[in-house]
Amino acid sequence: MNCRECTDFLHDYLGGELPETQQRIFEGHLELCPPCVTYLESYRKTLALGKLVTDEPAEPLPEALVKAILAARAS
């Protein structure tokens, strides 16, 4: 396995979806390749950083939009 192939497997590896044989090959590559370990960690952190967006505060609905929605229901 080379670094390009290792990168292709990141999604399935972190999702626990790699078949056992491929996982062994993948982890074998990581043992020999510090750059891919660094890349894997940054990919993992990318997912963690993405989760921050789920905490975005929700602003109240503009009153004009509330009125428009309720008026559309009534009509």
**Angle, CA of 32, 36 and 38, to the nearest 5°:** 115
Contacts of another protein in 10-69 (CB under 8 A): 10-11, 35-36, 38-39, 41-43, 45-56, 58-62, 65-66, 68-69
Helical axes 20-32 vs 34-52, angle rounded to 10°: 110
The only residue of 4, 19, 20, 21 in contact with another protein, by rule CB under 8 A: 4
If one counts every other C-beta atom within 10 angstroms of the C-beta of residue 14, the result is 13
Q: Which residues bind another protein (CB under 8 A)?
A: 2-5, 7-8, 10-11, 35-36, 38-39, 41-43, 45-56, 58-62, 65-66, 68-70, 72-74
